[in-house]
């Protein structure tokens, strides 16, 4: 938890944070990005229908969007996974295919969802991290590629913001599983 942000004499900031009851200071920051998160609106007596919640208040679902109650399904932000509107729409379509068509194994693939943080510079990801890939597939089966360059947008400007990329690939085919 951030407790205090103090401006220094040189225009930077020092951030005091509480880490499990221990105060720590991060010094000489030029930017502080704080994600506050959201809480799901699930205090609607779901327990009366035998729908269980996670400790953070999200509805518990399995990989097929089934809740803990028979014939009750949940998807989207209320489940606490990939809280993005296009993901909720895709998950809903897959649920509809599974329920109303002969596609009993249709389910959302959570591994290749692109996300972005509209910061300066912007940050974008897709797939799993290098750390997650090594844990899932073994370190010997992962190859990473790194690159840094000035993108075309900034090539003709005085501001030469670098683009930094890392591809996480699965051997032996070098399929990209993370960006």
pLDDT at 47 over 90: yes
Question: How many contiguous H segments (helices) and E segments (strands) does the chain have?
Answer: 3, 8
- pLDDT band of residue 162 (cuts 50, 70, 90) is confident
How far, CA to CA in Å, does 124 sit from each of 13, 106, 121? 25, 27, 10
Residue 155's pLDDT band (boundaries 50, 70, 90)?
confident
* CB 142, CB 169: distance < 8 Å: yes
Residue 59 pLDDT level (bands cut at 50, 70, 90): very high
Rounded Cα distance between 78 and 7, Å, is: 38
Statement: residue 152 has pLDDT above 90: no
- The DSSP H or E segment spanning 13 is strand 13-19
Q: Where are the beta strands (DSSP E) in the chain?
A: 2-7, 13-19, 22-29, 115-117, 123-125, 142-150, 162-170, 175-178
pLDDT band (50, 70, 90) for residue 147 = very high
> How does residue 25 score in pLDDT terms, banded at 50, 70 and 90?
very high
Interatomic CA distance for residues 4 and 31, integer angstroms: 14
> Would you give the distance in Å from CA 23 to the centre of its chain?
27
Q: What whole-number distance in Å separates Cα of residue 83 and Cα of residue 78? A: 8
| pLDDT over 80 at 61, yes or no | yes
User: Would you list the DSSP string of 74-105?
Assistant: --SGGGTSS--HHHHHHHHHHHHHHHHSS-TT
Calculate the average pLDDT of the chain. Answer: 91
For residue 36, what pLDDT is reported? 75
pLDDT of residue 97: 95
The predicted pLDDT at position 63 comes to 94
């Amino acid at each position: 938890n951030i407790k205090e942000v103090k401006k220094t004499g040189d225009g930077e900031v020092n951030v005091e944070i509480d880490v499990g009851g221990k105060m720590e200071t991060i010094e000489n920051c030029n930017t502080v990005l704080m994600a506050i998160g959201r809480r799901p609106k699930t205090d609607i007596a779901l327990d009366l229908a035998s729908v269980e919640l996670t400790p953070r208040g999200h509805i518990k679902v399995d990989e097929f969007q089934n809740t803990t109650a028979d014939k009750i399904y949940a998807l989207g932000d209320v489940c606490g996974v990939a809280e993005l509107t296009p993901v909720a729409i895709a998950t809903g379509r897959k649920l509809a295919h599974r329920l109303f068509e002969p596609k009993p194994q249709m389910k959302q693939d959570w591994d290749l969802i692109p996300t972005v943080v509209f910061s300066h510079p912007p940050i974008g990801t897709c797939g799993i991290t290098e750390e997650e890939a090594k844990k899932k597939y073994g370190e010997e089966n992962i190859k990473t590629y790194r690159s840094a360059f000035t993108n075309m947008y900034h090539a003709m400007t005085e501001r030469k913001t670098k683009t930094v990329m890392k591809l996480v690939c699965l051997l032996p085919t070098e399929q990209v599983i993370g960006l």
